[in-house]
Structure 1
Amino acid sequence: MTTLLYERLQDAFREFGWTRIPEVVDHHAEEAAKHNISYLEFLDKLLQEELLSKRERFIRMKTRVAHLPFHKKLDQFDFSFQPSIDERRIRELAALRFLAHRENLIFLGPPGVGKTHLAVAIALEAIKQRYTVYFTTAHELVETLQQAHQNNTIRQKIKVFTKPNLLIIDEIGYRKMEDAAAHFFFQIVSERYETGSIILTSNKSYGAWGEIFGDAVLATAILDRLLHHSTTINIKGESYRIKEKKKAGFFRPEGSEDKPE
C-alpha cells in the first residue's frame, strides 16, 4: 500500500468516524492477499469489525449512563438456591417482550434473595437490545425529588425518570415516603403508564404499600397503574448474603456452641 493511498484511507476513516477499521485494515489486507479473498468479502470483514466495535461502544456508554449498581448477568444467578423462582419464566422475561409492550415487572421478597440481581440482569439484556435504562433506589429517588422540589427543578428531574424505555426502582419499602415525594412518585408512575416499563423491587407485599406511601388511597392509585399491565415475581427463600456468611463460618446451628473440654 502506497503512502499516499494509506493517508487517503486514514483521512476517510476519520471522516466517517471509524475507529476499528484503521486498527485492522492492514491485517485483513494481508489475509485477503494471502487467501485470495474477494473484494466484497474483504469489505464485509472490515465493516463487520467496525459494526461490532460500534455496538460494544454503545453498550458501554448506555451501561454507564444507566447507573447500574453492579453488572451481573442472568447466567450468574443461582436458581438452584431459590427454588421458588421459575427459571424458565425469568428467561422469558429476559427476552424483553414485556418491555416491547411497555409492561411492568415487580419482584417481591425479603432482603437478599436476588431481586436486584434479576433486575440488573434484565437491564443488561435491555441495553444490549438498544433500549435506554435508568436505575435508582427508592431512597435515592426520594432524595432527588425532594431536592429538585426545593430547587424548583422538579419538572426537569421528573423527565429524567420518565424518558428512559426502562426505569428500575430498587428497594421500595425500606422507608416511608413523605407526602410530597409520594405524590411525585405517583406522577412518575402515571406519566410512564403505557408509555414505558418499570422494574420495581420491594420487600413489602402490596397490602403494606399504604404504609410506604402514608396514604392508602394514593397507594391504591399507584398500584392500579403499576399492576394493570404487569408481571409479579414472588421470591421466597434464604438470603444469599446469609448463605455466604454461613459458608464463611459466621453462623452456627443452634446448640452448636463450643463447649469447654
Structure 2
Amino acid sequence: MNSSYKKLISNLEYLKLNQMVAHLDETIDFMNNKQLSFVDTLMKLTDYEIDMKEINMAKAMVKVAGFPHRKEIKDFDFSFQPSVNKEQILDFGTLRFIERSENIVFLGTSGVGKTHLATSIGIAAAKKRTSTYFIKCNDLILNLKKAKLENRLEARLKHYAKYRLLIIDEIGYLPIDVDDAKLFFQLIDLRYEKKSTIITTNSNFKSWGEIFQDPKIANAILDRILHHATVVSIVGESYRIKDHIQSEK
C-alpha cells in the first residue's frame, strides 16, 4: 500500500466521505478494467456518497414529519377494505397531487384505515424529500391557540403553512369553538391553492357546521379544502375490530 493511497484514505476519512472510502478499491479496479477517465472515475466514486446522503436525508425527513407510525402503502390491506381503490392510492403515492397543490380528504368511521393511508402517502412524500408534517387536529388547534395567547400566531401559522404537505388527522372527533375555528380557517386560507393538505375525518361535510360551531366558517373552510380535492370515502369494518376478532380465534 503506497503512501499516496494511504494519504487519500486519510483525506477521505477526515472529510467524512465514508462511502468513498468503502468503495475506493472496487472503483479503482473498475477504472483499470474499463479504462475510465479520471473524471468518470471520480463521478462514479462521488455517486456512492451522494446516494447515501440522499438516503440519510430522506430518513431525516421522515423522522421530523411526526408520523404516528411508519406504515406505508404496501402495508395496507386493500383486500379488507374493498371500497378503497388501490390504483388511486398508488397514484397518490406518485405525489402528482402535490405538484398540482391539490388536497386529499379521507372520510370514514373510526378504524377503517384513514390515518394509515394519510400517513403512508406522507411517508412517500417525505422519502422524496418533500417537506411534510403530520399533526392531529386537536393538537394543531391547541398549538395555534397557545401561539395566539403568546402573541406569536403569525409565526406559528407561517410554520404550518410552509410545509408542501400538511396532514391534519381526526377532524370532527372533538368540537372546535368559534374562535379556534377562525384560527383553523386562517391556516387553511394560507395554504389554499399553494400547498397540499391531507385531512382525515369521521364526519360528513354537512356536520362540519356543528364541529366548528359556525356554519359560515365551516363553509369557508370546506370551500378551500374541497375546491381542489379528491375525497376518498371508506366504507368498511374497523381494522382494530378485525385484529381483535382474529386474536380471539
The structural deviation recorded for 1:194 is 0.7
Residue 256 of structure 1: aligned partner = none
Residue 49 of structure 1: aligned partner = 48
Moved more, 45-54 or 226-235: 45-54
Moved more, 158-167 or 5-14: 5-14
Residue 133 of structure 1: aligned partner = 132
Gaps (5+ residues) in structure 2? none
**TM-score, structure 2 length as denominator?**
0.92
Q: 1:233 to 1:208 in 2, by over 3 A?
A: same
Residue 161 of structure 1: aligned partner = 160
Report the Cα distance in structure 2 between the residues aligned to 1:7 and 1:249, rounded to whole angstroms: 64
The SS at the match of 1:248 is helix
**Between Structure 1 and Structure 2, whose CA radius of gyration is higher?**
1
Alignment of 1:75-94 (within 5 A): 75-94=74-93
The structural deviation recorded for 1:92 is 1.4
Pairwise CA RMSD of aligned residues?
1.9
Residue 101 of structure 2: aligned partner = 102
Q: How many residues matched?
A: 247
Match of 1:38 among 35, 38, 47: 35
Residues 145, 157 of structure 1: 8 Å contact kept: yes
Residues 10, 22 of structure 1: 8 Å contact kept: no
Q: 1:38 to 1:72 in 2, by over 3 A?
A: farther
Gaps (5+ residues) in structure 1? 251-261
Question: Which amino acid in 2 is paired with 1:11?
Answer: N
**TM-score, structure 1 length as denominator?**
0.88
Report the Cα distance in structure 1 between the residues aligned to 2:68 and 2:179, rounded to whole angstroms: 26
Residue 122 of structure 2: aligned partner = 123
Report the Cα distance in structure 2 between the residues aligned to 1:53 and 1:169, rounded to whole angstroms: 31
Residue 22 of structure 1: aligned partner = 21
Q: Deviations over 1:144-171 (max 9, x none)?
A: 1111111111111111210010000000
Moved more, 218-227 or 18-27: 18-27
Moved more, 60-69 or 35-44: 35-44
The structural deviation recorded for 1:128 is 2.5
Report the Cα distance in structure 1 between the residues aligned to 2:239 and 2:121, rounded to whole angstroms: 19
Q: Deviations over 1:21-47 (max 9, x none)?
A: 123323443x437x7243356444422
Q: Deviations over 1:180-218 (max 9, x none)?
A: 221111001000001100000000000111111110000
The structural deviation recorded for 1:178 is 2.2
Report the Cα distance in structure 2 between the residues aligned to 1:92 and 1:183, rounded to whole angstroms: 33
Report the Cα distance in structure 1 between the residues aligned to 2:207 and 2:116, rounded to whole angstroms: 23
Q: Deviations over 1:46-72 (max 9, x none)?
A: 223212101111111111111111111
User: Percent identity over the alignment?
Assistant: 38
The answer to whether 1:142 aligns with 2:141 is yes
Residue 3 of structure 2: aligned partner = 3
Report the Cα distance in structure 2 between the residues aligned to 1:3 and 1:160, rounded to whole angstroms: 52
Q: Deviations over 1:190-248 (max 9, x none)?
A: 00001100000000000111111110000000001111111000000000000000011
